[in-house]
Structures are given as structure tokens and as C-alpha cells.
Amino acid sequence: MQWEAVIGLEIHVQLATSSKMFSGAATAYGAAPNTQACDIDLGLPGVLPVINRRAVEMAVLLGLAIGAQIAPVSIFARKNYFYPDLPKGYQISQYEAPIVRHGTLEIAGADGEPKTIRILRAHLEEDAGKSVHDAFPGNSAIDLNRAGTPLLEVVTEPDMASAAEAVAYMRGLHTLVRYLGICDGNMQEGSFRCDANVSVRRAGDPKLGTRAEIKNLNSFRYVERAIEFEIERQIDVIESGGKVVQETRLYDSVKDETRSMRGKEDAHDYRYFPDPDLLPLTVTQADIDAARERLPELPAAKKSRFLSQYGLNEQDALALVQEREVAAYFEQVESIAPGDPKQIANWITGEVFGALNRAGLAFAQLPVPSAGLAALLGRIRDKTISGSMAKQVFEEMWETGDTPDAIIERRGFKQLTDDGAIAALVDEVIAASPEQVEQYRSGKDKVFGYFVGQVMKKSKGQANPQQLNEILKAKLGR
Ligand code: ADP
Ligand code: MG
């Protein structure tokens, strides 16, 4: 029996405003507990919320970036429930009339072909506080710093058919919100978190299966693992004669499984109603036009431009546009050292990303400026140094901040690029290795590496690798 998975995501994007959704309290992460919750966040009697204009502008920016409708009038509602980290007893959210409706985001689907994911809505709301269970033995504590932090909840149609597609969508949205500057994207700090709705159905069945909702996934890896586990679990349930029940589940990353948290029977009745303290939110055409002016070049457009302008392949272009700073760095290097964009892409996605990874640094902390990388690549192109020497120079640029030329000079790096001199070394090696020559000529390709190694050794690592290869091939005659 063939099964089909159906997935819809609800992603909470924490907006990068400096103050809260409805109050002037600060939103900075990591402050001492309960130092950033004011009387409005606590819902003390007599206070009145005021809508944060920046948060509204950010919602409009996202709406425009996904080609959505921006509602001229949207409404804040109270979502009522009782929980210790929710002092007001309700969360202010948008329910029937969200600010953003009907957008799309394109991802690479299963077959690598572009696939359009429909975004049903994006609504503004405030975050709740946080329960802390490990600070005081035997007691739970409440930190209300997060209470009232602005969130944009972005909800898709059930358009994804695999964990991989769900992750591709999530990555796409993650890139987009950082391009727009509306979210710092820090998933460890909870700035970008996902609820995944998962169901399965028999292939071709037009009816959707019953779904489970997996709450609060805060890494791409967890989203992928949780969905994969959940799809298998639901198939097993149905194939062994059972029925999937609609419920909320949690993903346990240690056991790598999802577990039931609450069923439909304990689902809340939120008694939504328009918040009487807040006027309907109006967004004018002038507001929308002003936001459109501020839209940067978006990731999808930048990727197409990188493909056509620089002749990069899909994979390189995608890797470079993932972060706006990386794309800008690439273009700076290219403008200083034009002519070989592929080489620059290789260095950034290989050497630079690798070194950042090893050092545990973000791209913004890269110690090698674009002019430095451009100068280094110039020395490979003019054959002063080989690619492998360049890697050593790069490491030293990273450590010392010196220019490539200073390092090349100091280390005495130079390349042997004289064909005649390289050929002489090749001749010596061939003459000294009759056995290996025999092996190579009888078809043992691997022996080629032996010759390269020997000549390199004789040249003290200075033979230009490309020339060496060509001369060796010619002289060995295969
Ligand atoms: P709720 O508000 O109770 O979470 P919604 O109907 O708004 O429910 O849907 C929430 C998310 O669940 C949406 O992303 C939607 O695409 C997804 N979804 C709805 N039905 C299914 C289903 N049968 N299988 C998978 N996802 C679903
Ligand atoms: Mg939901």
C-alpha cells in the first residue's frame, strides 16, 4: 500500500522590534528574569495596550515579500486560557481578521523542481511568558520577560508532502525574514519556532487524513526528525487496524520520537472575541507603498540574478544567497577581482564556510575582509601560488590579519611555473620508477597519484599542479 504524507506548518516568527507588541517594555534577550515586563504586559487593572507600529510595518513587509493581500482593516482578539505564564488570562492575537492573507513561497520540491507552498495567513500576536522548571528544586518559576513580545505567526496550507519539503519551506522562510530584517532568526533563543501538522492518507485519496500537531520545534533537524517519525507512526497505526486521533504531540529529541501531550477532548475552548481595548488596525495604501519602497532584493530574485549574471550553478547560487551578508561579500570580492565567479563561490562555500564552522563563528564575524580574499584569489590566478599554498595563506590571513602578499613573501611561497623545469623533474621521476610506469601503462590509474606526489616532493611543493598534471599525462603516454 502506498502512503502519502500531508504537512502544514505554523511558524512563529519573533519580530525584531526593540519594544513589545503592546507596551514600551524592552524585548532584548537574556535580561535578568522579570526585569522586562511592565504593567501592560502583566495586565494590571486600568492599563491600555497600544499597537507597536514597527511590528505592523514588519508584518506588511513579509506580506509584500510573499505576494500576499494586506488587509486594510484587521482585528485583535483575545484568546482566553489559563496558564501560569499568562498573567492576563488571555493572549492578544488576530483570529478571524489577520493582517496578511494568501501569499506563496517557492521551494525546491522532492524532484528538485520548484514547488509553490501556499501561505494561508500571517497574523500578529504577543508571546506568553516562560515557565522555568530547573531553577529551584521542587518549584517552578515564571519569567515574564517574554510576555508581550511581538510574534508573526505564519500558517501554510497543507501543501508539503515530506519532511524534506517541510524543512525546505522552513529554511526558505527563515532566509526571507532575515533578508527583510524583521527577525534575527536565532532558533536557539526561540526567535523562529515551528508547529508541524502531519497526517497521512492512501495515495490518490482526495480526503485529508486526521492530523497530529507537533508543538514547538526549534531546529531544522528536529522538524525533519519529528515529521519523519510521525509519518511512520501514523502509517503503523492505520496498517495495524487502528485510527489516528487528532491530538497535540511533543517531540523528544533524546528518544527521537513524538509523544501525546493532549487529545482533542482536552482541547481548549478559547472563547475568542475582539479585544475591546484595541481599535481595529488599519493599514493604508500609503503605508503599503512606503513598505514596498523598503523591500530589499529578495532571495529568489537574487538567486536568479546570480545564475544569469555570474553563470553560477544552482547549488552555489543557493548557498550564497542563503544569507544577505554572504551574497554581499561574494559580490564585493567579485567586483574587486572580476572574471572567475565560480572560483570565488568555491572559496566562499568551501574554505570560508569551513573555517567559520571550525571556529564556531557567524558569517558577520569573518576576520578576512572581501579585499583580502580578492587579493589572495588574484595570486592564484596569476600563478604566484597554487591552490594548496593559498589555503595556508588564507589560514594565516585569518590568524594575523596580514595581506596575502606579506604572507607569501614571509613564507617564501612561490610556484614553479616553468614547463621545462617541471618536465625535467617529471623525467627524473619516471626514470627512477620503471615499476610504477609499467603498472600505470597496464591500466592502474591510481599510480598516477604516486607520480604527482614524487614530482611535488622534488619541487618542494612548488610545481604548479595543473601544469604538472598535463606534462605527466603527456610523458606517461596514457
Ligand atoms: P488550528 O488553528 O487548530 O491549529 P488550522 O485549521 O488553522 O488548525 O490548521 C493549522 C495547520 O494545520 C495549517 O498549517 C494547516 O495547513 C494544517 N492542516 C490542517 N489540516 C491538516 C491535515 N489533515 N494534515 C496536515 N496538516 C493539516
Ligand atoms: Mg495550530
Mind listing the pLDDT tens digit for each residue in 85-135? 999 999 999 999 999 999 999 998 888 789 999 999 999 999 999 999 999
Give mean pLDDT, residues 311-331: 96
3-state secondary structure of 449: helix
Torsion sign across C-alpha atoms 320, 326, 331, 334: negative
Ligand nearest to the Cα of 212, by number: 1
Whole-number Å distance, alpha carbon 374 to ligand 1 midpoint, is 49
Amino acid at 408: I
Q: Is the pLDDT of residue 30 over 80?
A: yes
Whole-number Å distance, alpha carbon 315 to ligand 2 midpoint, is 34
Cα–Cα dist 318/306, whole Å: 9
Q: What is the mean pLDDT of the chain?
A: 95
Ligand nearest to the Cα of 156, by number: 1
Q: Is the pLDDT of residue 283 over 90?
A: yes
Which pLDDT does position 315 carry in this prediction? 92
Q: Which residue has the higher pLDDT, 414 or 303?
A: 303
Ligand nearest to the Cα of 246, by number: 1
Rounded to whole angstroms, what are the CA distances from 476 to 132, 165, 405, 445? 71, 50, 36, 11
Mutate to test the pocket of ligand 1, among 10, 118, 123, 197 (most ligand atoms within 8 A of CB): 197
For the chain, what is the total number of helices (H) and then of strands (E)?
17, 16
Cα–Cα dist 94/20, whole Å: 16
pTM: 0.87
Q: Identify the residues whose C-beta falls under 6 Å from ligand 1.
A: 6-10, 155-158, 197-199, 208-209, 211
Give the residue among 256, 189, 261, 174 at the shortest CA–CA distance from 222. 256
Mutate to test the pocket of ligand 1, among 10, 153, 156, 245 (most ligand atoms within 8 A of CB): 10
Phi, psi of 405 (to 5 degrees): -60, -40
Contacts of 458 (CB under 8 A, 6+ apart): 425, 428, 429
Whole-number Å distance, alpha carbon 10 to ligand 1 midpoint, is 8
Return the ∠ at Cα 151 (arms to 280 and 132), rounded to 5°: 130
Q: What is the pLDDT of residues 290-319, one digit of tens each?
A: 999 999 999 999 999 999 999 999 999 999
Give mean pLDDT, residues 409-415: 88
Contacts of 387 (CB under 8 A, 6+ apart): 380, 465
Confidence band (pLDDT; 50, 70, 90) for 461? Answer: confident
Rounded to whole angstroms, what are the CA distances from 51 to 138, 147, 253? 38, 15, 37
Confidence band (pLDDT; 50, 70, 90) for 1? Answer: low
Whole-number Å distance, alpha carbon 186 to ligand 2 midpoint, is 22
Whole-number Å distance, alpha carbon 244 to ligand 1 midpoint, is 15
Helix, strand, coil % over all residues of the chain, rounded to 5? 40, 20, 35
Nearest ligand 1 atom, CA 155: 14
Cα–Cα dist 435/425, whole Å: 18
Q: Which domains does the chain have, with CATH numbers?
A: 3-290 (no CATH), 297-411 (no CATH), 419-476 (1.10.10.410)
Q: Is the pLDDT of residue 264 over 80?
A: no
